[in-house]
Structure 1
Amino acid sequence: MNKKRVTSQDVAKHAGVSRSVVSAVLNGTPGIGVSAQTREAVLASIEALHYQVDAQARSMKTGRSMTLAAFGDTAHPLFMRLLEGMQRAGEAAGYHLLLCSPGEREEAQSRRKLLDLYRQRRIDGIVTLDDTNYADEDWAGEVRKAGVPYVSVEGYAEAEGVVSVQADYAGSMKTALDYLTKKMPEGAGAPEYAEVRSTSWDEETNWAELQRKRGYLEWCEERALEPRVTNLLQHEGSVDWDGWLGNRSGSSPLPLLVNWSSAVPDLYRAARRFGLEIGEELRVMSADNTIGGDRLSVPTLSCMEIPYAEMGRAAVERLLRQIEGGAGEPAKTRLPAILKPGESA
C-alpha cells in the first residue's frame, strides 16, 4: 500500500507552529522572523517525519528551480576547487549545482545552452570560470538581454558592467614580498622577480601577470628599492634556469620570487647542479601555487595560494543576491591570496 505523503502542514502540527513558519524555515521567507529555538524545532520535526520538499511544487510557486549552473572545464583541477566553494555556499542556501562543460561543442554554443536552460526555468543563475583575459562582449550582451543572474570568476576584470570575482594578484605579490624579505638583512635590495612566460600568452595583455608585475613594482617603489625583473620562457613545460643561476654565482643568499610554482621543479634541479641549498643559499617563493607545488617540492615551497574555493563561495553569494533582486553593490569582488609558508624561504 502507498504510504501517505508527509506535508508541510504535518510538520507544522508536529513542531507546534504555523505552516507559514515552516515555509519561512525552508525558504528563508522575508518578513517572518523565526527564533533559533523555533527553527531547531521545525528542523527536528522535518527529520522525525522524513519530510521531503516537493521540488516541482516549490518551483511552480516560487518560479525558481533551486539550481545554479557552474560552467568550466571539468578536467581542470582549478575548476574542481572552485566547485568546492560553490557547493558549500549553494547547499547552505538550499541550491543544487548543475555542472556544465564545453566538451566537444564550441564554447560559444555551450554558453548559449545555459541561456536556454534559464529560459526553461531549469536553472536560476550562472557562474563561469574564465581565463583572466576573458571579456567577450557578445556573451555579456546575451546575458544582459536574457536577464539571467550571472557571475564570472576571473573574467571581465576591467568590465564594470559584469559582476565578477577575481584574486587580488597585485596584493598577493606584496604579501609574498613581505614574507620573503623578513629574514633579509637591513639595507638589502629588492628580491628578484622571475616572470616565467608561456608561449601561449602575451605579457602585454595577460591581466593576471600585469597585476603581479604592478604589485612588485609598487612594493619596490614604496621602499625606494630598485626593481629586478627577469623574463624566462617555459617551453614544453620546462624552464632553463642554468643561465640565470650562472650569472648570479657568488651572490648569496639569493631571494627569488617566481610567478608560477610549475616553474619551480626545474629551478630546484638547477640549484642542485650548482650546489645551492634551497632555503639557505637560494631562498625561493612562488606567487601562484598553480600545481600544488608546495606539497610536491622538497624542501616544501613557500607560496601564495589563489583562493579558488573562496572565490566559488563568493561567486554563489553574489549570484544569490542578484536572484533576490539586490543591487547597488560594486561589480567586482577581489579576494586576497592565501600565504602558505614552506621551507624554501
Structure 2
Amino acid sequence: MGKKRVTSFDVAKRAGVSRSVVSAVLNDTPGIGVGAETREAVLEAIRELNYHVDAGARSMKTGKSMTLAAFGDTRHPLFTRLLEGMQRECELSGYHILLCSPRHKGNANGRAELLELYHQRKIDGIVTLDHTSYGDLEWAAKIEAAGIPYVSVEGYAEVPGVYSVLADYSGSVETALNYLLREGSAQQPGPAYAEIYHGDSADNWAERNRRDAYTGWCKAHGLQPVIIQLDEQQGDWAGCLQQLAADNGRPYAPLLVNWSSAIPDLYRAAHKLGLRIGEEVRIMAADNTIQGHRLSLPSLSCVEIPYVSMGEEAVCCLLKQMNGVMEKEQADKIWLPAILRAGESA
C-alpha cells in the first residue's frame, strides 16, 4: 500500500489555519494579508509534513504547466547542444523540459503528439530542431490555429510568420574566409570551397547561403571561385586535394569545407598523400558538428554554429510569446552569428 499523499488540507490543519491561508502563503496571493507568525506556522507545517505542491492542481489554477517541449532526435549531437542552451534559460525561468522525439508513425513524424500535450495542459510551448530545408506549412497552420507558442530552430527560414532561430551561414563563411586570408598568413592562391552533399541537401537555403557567400567573397577580393562538390558517402578527397595543387612551386590553395563531418576522411586522404595539414595544406570547416577543434589532430580551425545560444534564444522567444510581449511588428527570424574556433589546421 502506498503512503497517503499529504494535501494542503493537512497543512492547514497542522498550522491551525484555513486552506485559503495556505494557498496565499504558497502563491503569494495579492490582497490576502498573512502575518509573519502565521506564515512561519504554515511553512513549519509544510516542512514537518514534507508537503509538495500538486503540479496538476496548480496547472489548472494558473493555466501553466511550467514545462516546454523540446522536439528532436536525441541521437543527434546538435540536439544535445540545443538542449544545453534550453536548460540554461529554463532554469532561470523556473521551467522544465519535456523531451519528444520523432517516431515516424505517419503523424507528421510524431508532431501530432505535441498538439495533444498542449491541449492537455502538459506543456506551455514547443521548440523543434528542424533540418534547414524544413518548412511544413500544414504544421505551421495547425500551430497557429491552436495558438501554441512555437519556435523552430533552423526551420522555416524562408517562410514568413513562423518564429525561427537561425544561424547566419553567410556570415560564418565570410568569417572563415577572412581567417584563412588573415594578415600574416603565407602568400598563396585564393581558397577553394568543398561542398559536401547528400540527396537534395545542396539545394536548401543554408547551403545556398554558404555557396553565395563564398562566390561573393571571392569576387570582392578579385579571386576566382573554385567549388568542388563531393558526395558525403563516396567523396574523392584525394582528388579534391590534388585540385588544390598549384604549378611553379606555389603552395596549395587553402580549403574551406562546408561540413566538418567529412574532416576525418579528408585528414586520412591528406595523410596518404604525405601532406602535412596546417603546413603544406590549410583546412577549415564551416561548422563544428563533430567538435573537430578538440577531437581532431591537428586541431581543426572552424566556425561553430551556436546551437547552445540558439537553445537559449528559442526559450526566450517562447516566453515572450507566452507573456504577450512579442510585438506584432517584431521580426519573426532571429539570426545568430557563428563562433570562430581557431585551431592548428589553418
TM-score by length of 1: 0.82
Letter paired with 1:231 = Q
Q: Is the 8 A contact 1:189 1:226 kept in 2?
A: no
Q: Is the 8 A contact 2:286 2:303 kept in 1?
A: yes
C-alpha distance in 2, partners of 1:184/1:97?
A: 46
Q: Is the 8 A contact 1:240 1:266 kept in 2?
A: no
For 2:228, the equivalent position in structure 1 comes to: 230
Q: How does 1:242-261 map to 2 (within 5 A)?
A: 242-249=238-245, 250-261=249-260
Match of 1:218 among 216, 219, 222: 216
Q: Is the 8 A contact 1:253 1:280 kept in 2?
A: no
Residues 274 and 109 of structure 1: CA distance in aligned 2, closer, same or farther (over 3 Å): closer
For 2:236, the equivalent position in structure 1 comes to: 240
In the TM superposition, residue 297 of structure 1 has moved relative to its aligned partner by 1.5
Q: Is the 8 A contact 1:125 1:148 kept in 2?
A: yes
For 2:335, the equivalent position in structure 1 comes to: 334
Q: How does 1:159-238 map to 2 (within 5 A)?
A: 159-182=159-182, 183-185=184-186, 188-198=188-198, 200-203=199-202, 205-235=203-233, 238=234
In the TM superposition, residue 53 of structure 1 has moved relative to its aligned partner by 4.4
C-alpha distance in 2, partners of 1:286/1:192?
A: 12
For 2:66, the equivalent position in structure 1 comes to: 66
In the TM superposition, residue 57 of structure 1 has moved relative to its aligned partner by 3.7
In the TM superposition, residue 7 of structure 1 has moved relative to its aligned partner by 7.4
SS in 2 for 1:127: strand
In the TM superposition, residue 189 of structure 1 has moved relative to its aligned partner by 4.3
For 2:80, the equivalent position in structure 1 comes to: 80
C-alpha distance in 1, partners of 2:218/2:54?
A: 59
Question: Unaligned stretches of 5+ in structure 2?
Answer: 15-22, 31-39
Residues 21 and 255 of structure 1: CA distance in aligned 2, closer, same or farther (over 3 Å): farther
C-alpha distance in 1, partners of 2:284/2:259?
A: 9
In the TM superposition, residue 113 of structure 1 has moved relative to its aligned partner by 1.5
Give the superposed CA RMSD.
Answer: 3.0
Q: How does 1:83-122 map to 2 (within 5 A)?
A: 83-103=83-103, 105-108=105-108, 110-122=110-122
Q: Is the 8 A contact 2:69 2:97 kept in 1?
A: yes
C-alpha distance in 1, partners of 2:213/2:206?
A: 11
Q: Is the 8 A contact 2:195 2:228 kept in 1?
A: yes
SS in 2 for 1:175: helix
Letter paired with 2:300 = L
In the TM superposition, residue 4 of structure 1 has moved relative to its aligned partner by 8.6
Larger Rg: 2
Question: Unaligned stretches of 5+ in structure 1?
Answer: 11-18, 30-41
C-alpha distance in 2, partners of 1:153/1:67?
A: 18
For 2:290, the equivalent position in structure 1 comes to: 291
C-alpha distance in 2, partners of 1:190/1:23?
A: 64
Tell me the alpha carbon deviations over residues 314-334 of structure 1, each in whole angstroms, 9 at most, x when there is no partner: 101100100111232210011
